[in-house]
Amino acid sequence: MARWPKGLEDSLGATTTRLYVTPAEADQLYTELYAVFERLVGMHHRYADRRDPKLRPADAVPVEFVLMAYPVLDLPPLPETDEVDEGDETGSETGVDG
């Protein structure tokens, strides 16, 4: 069974979150995150010289960092947030008779 190299067990992993944002807000968030991503692990990061195997520390292992953003289009609809008025005789949450 493959395992994380000793010392990396608790320092790497994955983080996800779901936000409800407009397309413009998503673009702004991605732009800001991408700038930080590029500064830390982009083409000119502080470890770029380690592409040359001779310049890597003996215990260096490849670690892939991924920055992704995509719309989640297959979520079930959210429950209605409006509560039914107690005086609503139809018992329908939408207020439509039928």
Q: Where along the chain do its domains lie?
A: 20-69
42 vs 37: CA distance, rounded Å: 6
Query: Rounded to an integer, what distance in angstroms lies between the CA atom of residue 97 and that of residue 92?
Result: 7
pLDDT value of residue 95: 43
User: Residue 45 — very low, low, confident or very high, per pLDDT cuts 50/70/90?
Assistant: confident
Q: What is the DSSP letter of 35?
A: H
* pLDDT confidence bin for 82, thresholds 50/70/90: low
Judge contact between 61 and 8, C-beta under 8 A.
yes
Q: How many other C-beta atoms are found inside a 10 Å radius of the C-beta of residue 30?
A: 14
User: Would the pTM count as exceeding 0.75?
Assistant: no
- Please determine, for residue 98, whether its predicted confidence score (pLDDT) is greater than 60: no
pLDDT for res 96 = 42
Per residue in 17-41, pLDDT (tens digit) is 889 999 999 999 999 999 999 888 8
State how far the alpha carbon of 78 is from the alpha carbons of 74, 81, 82, in Å: 12, 8, 12
